[in-house]
């Protein structure tokens, strides 16, 4: 029997997640799709697909008969709205929340890196699209050599950045930077987002720079390739754009890193691209696809573990 879920947020991310659950999930069942605009395209699409909808937000959701059977709630709204939504839902201990906003109320979760550390947490945060794409790579390097500094540049098509994304730019950089440290393992993290207005729109591109202790380069390369394969299990369009590159930063000519001072070691550069699955949005919207795919994978792993515990 599938586990019933609700999605709050009828914009691009919420709608894409809904369609992924309906088409792909063997363990999750869409129960209620929630928004605040009764005329939104997402709610209209959900109705056409036979999904129960609610246009009065979280307050309306918890008054519905379906609420008692829902076990997981996805929040695909905004950082500010999530604070309100979680304040309502935390009163129900039998519900778990997966937060796709940059609110970062709960601990950061990147499925192939730290899922096992957050099994019993009631509210987990999926960081950001840039974080989901790049933090696995920082962690892969850190598994081989201690990472002093991790910097990521996420370039996404301007057309794939909706009003929620644009309103949360500051939260994006702050949340991603923190997660590079807390999840990726870097002593210091920095995140940059670029909204690319190119026409036709380009797919998501991410560049990851790390400065680490010196280590076996082949071991780092192998760790990165292994991590890419793990992410591809739930995001098939995730891949290396070029081979991993290395540069020596000699002790005689160190670089200055704000907050850390002068450091030397091994610089690793990884170029990625993320092509969306095209379930609801165009393939260039890989930034949305990786978020919704990671959220779905997280929920399915939660259910799988719960089933194992109950046996």
- Give the catalytic positions in this structure: 129
The answer to whether 269 and 4 are in contact (CB under 8 A) is no
**If DSSP codes are grouped into helix, strand and coil, which group holds residue 75?**
strand
Beta strands in the chain (DSSP E): 3-8, 28-34, 52-54, 70-75, 96-99, 123-125, 147-157, 188-196, 204-212, 238-240, 245-249, 255-257, 261-263, 265-274
The two tokens of residue 145 are 């050599």
Phi (first) and psi of residue 297, to 5 degrees: -60, -40
CA distance 257 to 199: 36
Among 269, 282, 293, 285, smallest CA distance to 155 is for 285
Give me Rg for the CA atoms of the chain.
Answer: 20
**If DSSP codes are grouped into helix, strand and coil, which group holds residue 95?**
coil
CA distance 185 to 165: 26
């Amino acid at each position: 029997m599938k586990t019933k879920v609700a999605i709050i947020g009828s914009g691009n991310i919420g709608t894409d997640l809904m369609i992924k659950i309906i088409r792909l999930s063997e363990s999750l069942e869409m129960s209620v799709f929630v928004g605040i605009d009764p005329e939104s395209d997402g709610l209209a699409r959900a109705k056409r697909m036979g999904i129960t909808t609610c246009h009065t937000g979280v307050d309306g959701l918890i008054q519905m008969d379906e609420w008692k059977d829902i076990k997981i709630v996805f929040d695909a709204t905004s950082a500010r709205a999530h604070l309100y939504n979680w304040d309502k839902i935390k009163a129900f201990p039998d519900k778990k929340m997966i937060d796709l906003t940059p609110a970062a109320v709960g601990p950061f979760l990147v499925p192939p890196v730290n899922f096992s550390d957050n099994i019993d947490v009631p509210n987990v945060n999926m960081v950001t699209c840039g974080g989901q794409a790049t933090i696995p790579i920082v962690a892969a390097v850190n598994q081989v050599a201690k990472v002093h500094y991790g910097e990521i540049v996420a370039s996404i098509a301007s057309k794939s950045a909706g009003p929620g994304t644009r309103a949360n730019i500051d939260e994006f950089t702050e949340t991603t930077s923190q997660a590079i440290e807390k999840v990726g393992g870097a002593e210091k993290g920095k995140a940059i987002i670029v909204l690319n207005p190119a026409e036709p729109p380009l797919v998501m591109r991410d560049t990851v720079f790390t400065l680490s202790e010196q280590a076996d380069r082949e071991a780092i390369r192998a760790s990165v390739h292994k991590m890419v394969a793990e992410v591809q299990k739930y995001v098939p369009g995730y891949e290396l754009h070029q081979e991993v590159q290395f540069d020596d930063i000699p002790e005689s000519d160190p670089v200055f890193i704000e907050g850390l001072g002068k450091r030397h070691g091994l610089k690793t550069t990884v170029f990625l691209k993320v092509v969306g699955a095209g379930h609801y949005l165009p393939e260039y919207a890989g930034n949305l696809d990786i978020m919704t795919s990671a959220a779905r994978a997280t929920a399915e792993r939660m259910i799988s573990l719960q089933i194992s515990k109950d046996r």
